[in-house]
Every structure is written in C-alpha cells, then in structure tokens.
Amino acid sequence: MDGGRAGAASPVAILAERLSKVYVKRRSLREIAGRPFRRAERITALAELSLEARAGEIFGLLGPNGAGKTTFLKILAGLILPTAGRALVRGIDVARHDQAVKRSIGFVTSDERSFYWRLTGLENLEFFGRLYGLSAGQARSAGRSLMQVMEMETLANRQFMSYSTGMKQRLAIARALLHDPPVLCLDEPTRSLDPIAAKHLRRFVIERLNRERGKTVLLATHNLQEAEEMCGRLVVLDRGRVLRQGSLAEITAGLPGRDHYILLVSGLGSPPADPRWSVEVERRDGTLARLSASVDRDGRAFSDLLRGLLEARGTIVSCARREPGLQEVFDMMAPDGERREP
C-alpha cells in the first residue's frame, strides 16, 4: 500500500452524505404493449452512500461491476443527479453548483475514444483547455507542459489516432489536469492497459500527482491489487451499498477467516496437524522446508502452531505474515451466496 498520505486533520475534499441513486428503467414499446399497467423497474445504483475523502489522499472505491463506483463519480462530475442525499466537493454541493464543482475536479474515464482522432494530442488538449475556461495561450502552454509531464512531448504533434492505448490513457489524464484541479477522479484508469503500462501509470499517479502536486485522487477500480497499491483508505461497495470503509488494516480487522504465514523451518520431519490450521510444505531444500500456513484468527492458534513446530524438532529460521489480498477480503465480507466474479 502506497498512497494516501493525508493526516487525520486534513480538510475534507469529497463528502457524500446518505447519497442514493435509483434508476427507473425505461420500458420498451414491446414491454409496454405486453404489460401496459406494470410498474417500471427500479434499479438501486447507490444506497445511502456516506464517505469522506480527505484532501491530499488517494481514496479508493472498490467493488465489482455494478457496485455503483462509476455512478458516484458521475454524480461528482455533474453528469447524473442523485435521487437523495448530497455530495460535496470541497464544500460545494454538486447537484446545486455543478459548474463550480467542475472547476475543482478532473475526471478521467477509461474510455480511450473520447478525443478527436484526427487532431493531434496537443490540439486536443488546447481545445479542451478552452472548455475549461483557459485562454488560447494558456491552453497551449498548459497542453505543452502536461505533454512534457506525461513524457509525451515527442508525440504532441502526432494525430491522436496513431497513439497506443497507454498513450491515450496518459493523454486523458493530461486533459483532466489542464485546469490544475485539486481533485482528480479516476474511473478504472488502467482497465485497458498492459501490466507494464498499468504499473507505470499507477506510479505516476502516486508519485507525480499525489505526492508532488498534492492532488486528492478518487480512484474507482475493481482491480484489487491496484487498490492495495495506491489507496490509503477505501470503501468496498457492493450493489450500491458500503460493505466496509477505512484503511486496509481497518477493513480486514475482525473479519472471519484465517491469517496466512510463510515459514522457513529447518530439521522438521512432518508438520504438526490441528483443525485450527493447515500447513503445506511448499518446497524442501536439504533440511530446510518452506511452509505455507493458514491459521485461525482465534489468538492462540498461531502460538500453538509455533510450539508444535518446535516440538517436532524444527528450528524456525524465519516467519512472515502475508497480508490478505482484497479479493479474499471481499469474499469474506460478501454474504454467503452473494459472491460473484469481480
């Protein structure tokens, strides 16, 4: 975990209070003809979402598809009106003063098409800069400077259509930074990137945008590793509801399940057996064995395992706790029968 450097006293950048969004599904002519008096279906995208992202932190919205992440970001960007509750960006209500809020946020979608393909990267940035209220000179200067920041200066005068997916995504981030907003909303920014480009982008957001420029970043992702790497605090959403929120440690605390350890033990015959743990010998190298252990979180089980290993004439060379992945956390939080593919 790398992002989220804000202290507890930092001012609030984004605040959602009991924010709800219910979509009324529009019925097709066929449905109306078939069942004319049937009530239109209602789909809850957000159900009383409350959260608080502090200024200068990277805050994660984590959840599977349909969790409500994009709906929340679009409410902040003024594209969708909430059904109930309110959302504030730096103290300004997004439903009432969307124009003012738009000056404070940069919005990056994973949609790489959202540029004019026959214009160059720089021409695109200049155009969008004008829409953010910059003068022609300011837009050109901001575009050039951001191209440099994005390490794309050699591509500035190439048509957008010749860019790779990674370049397009970087240009989308550059566009969101044209008006130098304090808050950046990233909607699955690495979705269509290869692992190397995705890693590069994550480092860029953490180091250049969050640490150096102090941007507050709201990151919507269903990529568990990404959330782990980038976000100081996060909310886990499922079908519009908050399952948990806080730091990863806070989210995982008190969850049912087991902790995982990697142990290097020498001189061990067979590992001790007990229903409270399961131990697998992953590899043996002479007398040295590498063990993978899953142990109940009951407080005593881990001590008993260590005692068992010592009693089996083993010498514990090293022991490391493996942090649970968010996939495991999500599985633990989702009620039985409601788990789904991320």
Partner 1 sequence: MSALRTLLAFLRRDFLIEVSYRTSFLMQAFGIFFSVLIWYFVSRVVNAPPTTPGLEGVDYFAYVLLGLALLHYLSSAMMSFGGKVRSEQMTGTLEAMLVTPTPIGTIVLGSSLWDFLLTSIKVIAYLVIGRLFFHVVIHLDSLLPVLLIITLTVLAFSGIGILSAAFVLYLKRGDPITFLVASASALVGGVFYPPEDMPVWLGGWSRLLPITYALHALRRALLRGSRFADLLPDIRALVVFAAVLLPLGVLAFRFAVRKARQEGSLVQY
Q: Which residues bind partner 1 (CB under 8 A)?
A: 21, 23-24, 26, 45, 71, 74, 77-81, 99-100, 102-103, 105, 107, 109, 111, 113-116, 118-119, 123, 126-128, 130-133, 135-136, 159, 175
Q: Give 39 or 311: the residue with its C-beta nearer to partner 1.
A: 39
The minimum distance between CB 35 and partner 1, in angstroms, equals: 21
Q: Give 26 or 249: the residue with its C-beta nearer to partner 1.
A: 26
Contact present, 329 and 243 (Cβ < 8 Å): no
The minimum distance between CB 123 and partner 1, in angstroms, equals: 6
Q: Give 136 or 281: the residue with its C-beta nearer to partner 1.
A: 136
Residues near 251 by Cβ (< 8 Å), separated by ≥ 6? 234, 236, 244, 245, 329
The minimum distance between CB 21 and partner 1, in angstroms, equals: 7
Sign for the CA dihedral angle at 195, 201, 202, 203 comes to positive
Six-digit token string for 72: 């929340």
Q: Give 103 or 241: the residue with its C-beta nearer to partner 1.
A: 103
Closest to 65 measured CA to CA, from 249, 341, 320, 312 = 341
The minimum distance between CB 23 and partner 1, in angstroms, equals: 6
Q: Give 239 or 290: the residue with its C-beta nearer to partner 1.
A: 239
Six-digit token string for 24: 């009324």
The minimum distance between CB 107 and partner 1, in angstroms, equals: 4
H, E, C per residue of 234-284: EEEEECCEEEEEEEHHHHHCCCCCEEEEEEEEECCCCCCCECCEEEEEEEE
